[in-house]
Structure 1
Amino acid sequence: MLSSIPSPSSNTMPVIGLHYYGVMIALGVLAAVMLARARWRAAGHDPDEIADIAVWAVPAGLIGTRVYHVITDFDKYRDNLGQIFAIWNGGLGIPGGILFGVIAGVWAARHYGIDVNRVADACIPGLPLAQAIGRLGNYFNQELFGRPTDVPWAIEIDPIHRPAQYVQFETFHPTFAYEALWNLGLCAALILVGRRKVLRPGKLLPLYLIGYGVGRFWVELLRSDHATEILGLRVNTWTSGAMVLIGFGWLLFGGALRPEAERGWDPEPEVAPEAEGVAGAAEGEGAAGAAGEAGVEGEAGVGSGPAEGANDGVAEDGPQGQGPVSEVEVPEADKPE
């Protein structure tokens, strides 16, 4: 029976020497881009457009994560500024990555003439997926764990990585794993909401802010590592609360629901512009065909005009005065055999 999760023997990969933390970050980014490409393709768009945006958004997001971390934990780097660039040792603040990445992504989408709101809906579920995978890097660095505990899933932490006030304890809450599981659930929830198509385009982002903010808030309450505090609360706790408020405000005052959803019925699935073009061409062909048939009937009508005129003379009122009923006599020679 599992009594605790053992600590990793090393934070680098054997032989090649790559840091697991960096590998997990790279895998998370790759998974997010692949998911966004698949969703954008399913919506009827060119998946290569996601790569065009990612070229700008991903580096900006990584820079933002480091900038946020350094600003909020500057005491760690005040006497050793060279460590600011040592990202392989950990220290990436997700709120900064969200801010920088979204700004760069919006700029790139507009630069390439891509619908910002719709491409955002394709990309947003990939954010918590990338975060969930990236959190595994915290395991190898033995960081971002919680308070001491003896639950069966507690993680063993080497003495060198334990907070000074808890150096006598061996096992702690794996809060990075809690956040990873929360983010996987958030990713699935965003995908399901997107399929329902009840929200206006672009509204998955505020929904993500709410979902991630709530999860990060309660995880921060379990953390035991050193962090900058404001009024007795960790700065990330305040940031998480702000994300939730921004998300709710965005949804409440930005018109979250589609008009048809507000009336109480499910909207029809959206048709991508390419699909609309195909449908329009098909309708055009149908109209042309109908016009052609009408022309043929018109030519036939010219030849039979006198006969129809003669029939008008024999029209008489139908039963119960419901209008004329024409009786047409077909000559024997013209009757079908």
Structure 2
Amino acid sequence: MFQLITASIPSPANGVWELGPFPLRGYALCIILGIVVAIWIGEKRWQARGGQLGEMQDVAIWAVPFGLVGARLYHVATDWKNYFGEGGEPIEALYVWHGGLGIWGGVGLGAVGALIGARRKGIKIAPMLDALAPGVLVAQAIGRWGNWFNQELYGRPTDAPWGLKIDQDHFSSAYLASQDYRDALAANGGIPPEFATFHPTFLYECLWNLAAFALIIWLERRFRLGHGRVMAVYVMAYTVGRGWIEYIRIDDVQLDDVLGLRFNVWTSIVLFVVAAAYFVWSLRKHPGREDEVYVDATPVAPGASVTDEASTDD
């Protein structure tokens, strides 16, 4: 596919700004902003459920670093040849600022961190996850713009007016090996195109996540979801969107074509089934919503742990 481009979404000419000796990266700013917004939304929702202000920040102290490590590990595991294969540089596995955070690793290990934080605060796990889950969708929507700054994780070539312009230096090896690229070379007299336009999958996922956020808020208010069912709906809503977006993407994923499907598609299918099964089981076992969000029905002051509170009573 190669033709005169009359309309497209531009990519940033530069995703890094130098402030003296310190580089300011658009990718990092999007991740940080997403985290801040997710914590803010989580705090508001937690207070509405009867929790105390500041407790979700205390949980985030555990969840955020765990989530970032998990997200990076998932990316490196699914793209290991880029770092440990022929011509790869293992040290670059630590270069988070170059992009490469796998959401499922982030959610999985981030949940482990949240569990630790919740146990220290005497908070029930299910209502805590329900309070945080919708904000995570908004964080993911914001974080996807980091891919725009890095010109990465785009979809197949397209001549649609909303096609995303990608510079030649950022063409994926999957695109360079495709018939679309060979057609572009032929149409351009054998000269590699300066840029091409692709499906802006970062934008698709951003919009999908925001729509899923609105849907979850409506469902929660309409049916008073509780006992972890908000979290389950989050997983189901996100995996449906991620599944069809994966079919459009042409990034270089090493663990690909497992029984004819991309690895991340299988991940989405498995997680959707698990979340749906939990939703049904939870609805039968625990209808309605929790009345209390604390293990002992006694809130723990922000900044203190359960053990700290217990020691003051002695």
TM-score (norm 2): 0.80
| Alignment pair present for 1:235 and 2:244 | no
**Correspondence for 2:274:** 246
Could you tell which deviates more after superposition, 101-110 or 149-158?
101-110
* Deviation (angstroms), 1:185: 0.9
Structure 1 Cα separation of the partners of residues 121 and 55 of structure 2? 8
Structure 2 Cα separation of the partners of residues 221 and 211 of structure 1? 17
Structure 1 Cα separation of the partners of residues 56 and 292 of structure 2? 19
Matches within 5 A, 1:51-66: 51-66=57-72
RCO higher in 1 or 2 (8 Å CA, sep ≥ 6)?
Answer: 2
Q: 1:87 aligns with which of 79, 90, 96?
A: 96
* Residue segments in structure 1 that go unaligned for 5+ positions in a row: 261-266, 278-337
- AA in 1 matched with 2:102: G
Per-residue deviation, residues 244-280 of structure 1 (Å, max 9, x unmatched): 11111111223368646xxxxxx9x96889xx99xxx
SS in 2 for 1:18: strand
Q: 1:174 aligns with which of 200, 211, 216?
A: 200
Structure 1 Cα separation of the partners of residues 260 and 68 of structure 2? 29
Distance change >3 Å, CA 195–CA 74, structure 1 → 2: same
Structure 2 Cα separation of the partners of residues 200 and 159 of structure 1? 49
**Correspondence for 2:235:** 209
Q: How many residues align?
A: 268
Per-residue deviation, residues 215-264 of structure 1 (Å, max 9, x unmatched): 0000000001211212232211111111111111111223368646xxxx
**Correspondence for 2:219:** 193
Distance change >3 Å, CA 89–CA 210, structure 1 → 2: same
**Correspondence for 1:17:** 23
Contact 2:42–2:132, Cα closer than 8 Å, also in 1: yes
Structure 2 Cα separation of the partners of residues 259 and 193 of structure 1? 15
- AA in 1 matched with 2:36: L
SS in 2 for 1:22: helix
Contact 2:124–2:293, Cα closer than 8 Å, also in 1: no
| Alignment pair present for 1:123 and 2:96 | no
**Correspondence for 1:223:** 249
SS in 2 for 1:17: strand
Distance change >3 Å, CA 256–CA 159, structure 1 → 2: farther
Distance change >3 Å, CA 6–CA 120, structure 1 → 2: same
Could you tell which deviates more after superposition, 225-234 or 122-131?
225-234
- AA in 2 matched with 1:218: W
Contact 1:77–1:84, Cα closer than 8 Å, also in 2: yes
**Correspondence for 1:3:** 7
* Deviation (angstroms), 1:17: 2.7
Which of these two proteins has the greater Rg computed from alpha carbons?
1
**Correspondence for 2:53:** 47
Could you tell which deviates more after superposition, 147-156 or 166-175?
166-175
* Deviation (angstroms), 1:203: 1.1
Structure 1 Cα separation of the partners of residues 151 and 284 of structure 2? 40
Taking only aligned residues, the RMSD between alpha carbons, in angstroms, comes to 2.3
Could you tell which deviates more after superposition, 218-227 or 246-255?
246-255
Structure 2 Cα separation of the partners of residues 130 and 216 of structure 1? 15
- AA in 2 matched with 1:209: V
Structure 1 Cα separation of the partners of residues 198 and 18 of structure 2? 27
**Correspondence for 2:43:** 37
* Residue segments in structure 2 that go unaligned for 5+ positions in a row: 1-5, 185-192, 299-314
* Deviation (angstroms), 1:197: 4.2
**Correspondence for 1:137:** 146
Contact 1:155–1:173, Cα closer than 8 Å, also in 2: yes
Q: 2:166 aligns with which of 148, 157, 163?
A: 157
**Correspondence for 2:32:** 26
* Deviation (angstroms), 1:120: 1.5
SS in 2 for 1:157: strand
SS in 2 for 1:13: strand
Distance change >3 Å, CA 92–CA 259, structure 1 → 2: closer
Q: 2:111 aligns with which of 102, 112, 115?
A: 102
Structure 2 Cα separation of the partners of residues 250 and 153 of structure 1? 38
Contact 2:227–2:282, Cα closer than 8 Å, also in 1: no
TM-score (norm 1): 0.74
